[in-house]
Amino acid sequence: MSYFDILKIASTGLSAQRIRINVISSNLANANTTRTEDGTPYQKREVIFRTILDGELRGGVRVEKVVRDEKPPILKYEPGHPDANEEGYVAYPNINPIEEMVNMLEASRSYEANVTVLNTAKQLALKALEIGRA
């Protein structure tokens, strides 16, 4: 396990959390989107993380897939809405903004933690280079 492996592993963590924040911002932006391309309301998306088990990034993390949350949409009675059904109900995405904000805070803290790991590994490597200096 060299310093360079530590840097690579920390960078996989950074990428994973960055993708997670991307997905969360998508969820928040589309919290009230009642119609997507296939005509259904937007569904909350979540990222699935997996440990990398082989190769040079062993021990790092990768985003395996982005899954849609299959929770049923919330129905609101708005007969004037263009996306309302025959009974006058509009299907809104089942997204809880508070939950999303908490996840975003968590993701950004994880990102910061990975940056700290990266900087520590860098400092260690540079300190090791000073061994034997007069």
Report the interface residues with other proteins, using CB under 8 A.
Answer: 3-4, 7-8, 10-12, 14-15, 18-19, 22, 63, 118, 122, 125-126, 129
Whichever of 10 and 91 has its CB closer to other proteins, that residue is 10
Q: Which is nearer to other proteins, 22 or 33 (CB)?
A: 22
Residue placing its CB nearer to other proteins in the complex, 19 or 84 = 19
**Closest approach of Cβ 83 to other proteins, in Å?**
25
CB of 130 vs other proteins, minimal distance in Å: 9
Q: How far is the CB of 101 from other proteins (least distance, A)?
A: 22
Residues in the chain: 134
